[in-house]
Each structure stands twice: as structure tokens, then as C-alpha cells.
Amino acid sequence: DNLPVRYHEDDALQKLGNYCPNKLQDPKWTDPHTKANVLLQCHFSRKKLTSDMEDDRRVVLEKAVPLVQAMVDVIASNRWLNPALAAMELSQMITQGLWDKDSILMQLPHFTSALAKKC
């Protein structure tokens, strides 16, 4: 809720949201939760952002890492295997800045998706 949606930023979020792989249903582009979702998808897609949006992306990631780690702890303590694996996968996606379907070679410096496809 502390993530600001600046004046006319909703237009930029809508443009970014149109290119996100996971489409939002009935998004409210002025909602901080929608902005966080779009910024996380941009992070996983390694999309270039404006400086303000990049700062907001960093804020989202700073809050997402401990939140997901807490989710893993709670889920694992309840012995729920599949949700625990999904939460761990999300944690890795946040850390690596990649979708779970992306090539593992993309974790290496200077590798692009085109270069990873050649390997």
C-alpha cells in the first residue's frame, strides 16, 4: 500500500501490463497492488524501466524477498510440499530475475535469450 502511483503513471503501467506474460483481470492501474504485480513481471522479464519505476521495482523486491521467505517457512512447517516448492521457486525467480520457464543459462552474465537458445 505504500507504493506510490504517480500522476499519469497509470498510463505507463497499462503499457507495461499489456506486454506482461500473465495478464491481469480487470486491473486498476492506479492500485499499488497492480503496480507491484506489473513491476515483478517486468523484473522476471528483465524489461527496462524508467528511473522512477526502477526505484519502485527495487522497493517491491526488497519487500518481496523476506515475505516469500516467511511464506516458505510457514508452508514448510505445515508440511505442504507442493505449495512449499512453488514458494521456493518464486523465491528463486525473484533472486535471479527470471521466469521459471527461462533457460538456466540466462543466470550467467552476458547471456541473452538468443545466445541461450543456441546452446
Closest CA to 13 of 115, 37, 60, 59: 37
Alpha carbon distance 111, 113 (integer Å): 7
Cβ neighbours around 80 below 10 Å, total: 13
Cα 29 versus chain centre, distance: 17
Give per-residue pLDDT as tens, 4-63. 899 999 999 999 999 999 999 999 999 999 999 999 999 999 999 999 999 999 999 999
Alpha carbon distance 61, 76 (integer Å): 22
Give per-residue pLDDT as tens, 75-96. 999 999 999 999 999 999 999 9
Alpha carbon distance 41, 112 (integer Å): 18
Q: Which pTM does this prediction carry?
A: 0.89
Q: What phi and psi, each to the nearest 5 degrees, are found at residue 46?
A: 55, 45
